[in-house]
Amino acid sequence: MKTGLISAIAALMLLAPALAFAASLESAPDNETASAAPDFYSKIINFLDGEPVRDGFMYLPFGMHTGSENKEISNNNLLGLFYRSFAVGTFNNSFDDRVWYLVYARNVATYEDFGLNYYAGAIYGYDGLLSTNSNIPLHDTFLYKYNLNPVITISPYYQISDQIELHAMFTFGYTIVGIKYNF
C-alpha cells in the first residue's frame, strides 16, 4: 500500500511541471525556416538553465528501490542544505554506509504549486558498489568503480506553504520522499 501511494504522489508531482514545460515550448520549430531551429534549441537551453532553487533545508527520510524486486521502504534520512543553487548533504545508503553529496541545483519548471528541480553533482561513499547496479547507465565504467561518483537527480515538488515543500527525488532505480523548508 505504501509503495503504491508513493508512486501515485510522485506521478502527480511529475505531471504538472511536464505540462508547464510543454506549454513553454509553444510550438515545434518549422523546418522550412532557418531561424526556427535555433529558437527551439535556445528554449531547451533556457529550460535547463532554469532558475535558482530557494535556499533551505531538506529532510527526506523514506526511500525505495524501484528497479529491483525489493520494494520495501527504507530509512535513508537524507539531510541537505541549499544555498545559492548548491546543495550539500548526507544520507545512509542501502548498505547502511554514510554517503555525502555536493550538487548544483536548478528549478526548471513551476506550475501553480507544483515544480520540478534537477540536481547534478557528485556523491562520495559507495566505495565502488554502484558499479554492480544495472539500473545506472554506464555503471560498469570507471565512473562508478571508486568512492566518488557522478549523480543526476530530478525532484518534483508540491509547495504546501511559502516555506514548506513536499519533495520526491528520482535517481536511477531509487525514489526518496520528504520535505524541504525554505528560508
User: Looking at the domain assignment, is residue 106 inside a domain?
Assistant: yes
Which residues of the chain are modeled with pLDDT < 70? 1-38, 67-71
Is 18 part of any domain? no
> Residue 11's Cα: distance from chain center in Å?
13
Collapsing DSSP states into helix, strand and coil, what is residue 55? Answer: coil
Give the three cell numbers for residue 83. Answer: 544555498
Residues counted in the chain: 183
For position 136, what pLDDT does the model report? Answer: 81
Question: For position 127, what pLDDT does the model report?
Answer: 86
Which residues on neighbouring strands pair with residue 153, listed in sequence order?
119
Q: Does the residue 23 lie in any domain? A: no
pTM summary value: 0.75
For position 176, which CATH number holds? 2.40.160
Question: Left if phi > 0, otherwise alpha if psi is -120 to 50, otherwise beta: which for 129?
Answer: alpha
Cell numbers for 31, please give them.
523546418
Asked if residue 118 belongs to a domain, the reply is yes
Query: Does 35 map to a domain?
Result: no
17 inside domain? no
Number of domains present in the structure of the chain: 1
Cα–Cα distances in Å, from 96 out to 37, 41, 88, 91? 48, 43, 19, 9
Question: What pLDDT is recorded for position 128?
Answer: 83
Q: Is residue 164 part of a domain?
A: yes
* 39 within domain boundaries: no
H/E run at residue 43: helix 36-49
Look up residue 96 and give its DSSP letter.
S
Q: What whole-number distance in Å separates Cα of residue 181 and Cα of residue 161?
A: 10
Q: Give the model confidence (pLDDT) of 20-65 as tens digits.
A: 555 555 544 555 445 556 688 888 888 888 899 999 999 999 888 8
Write down the pLDDT at residue 166. Answer: 96
CA distances from 64 to 51, 114, 139, 145 (A): 29, 22, 19, 23
Residue 62's domain comprises 51-182
- Distance, in Å, from the CA atom of 89 to the CA atom of 77, rounded to the nearest integer, reads 10
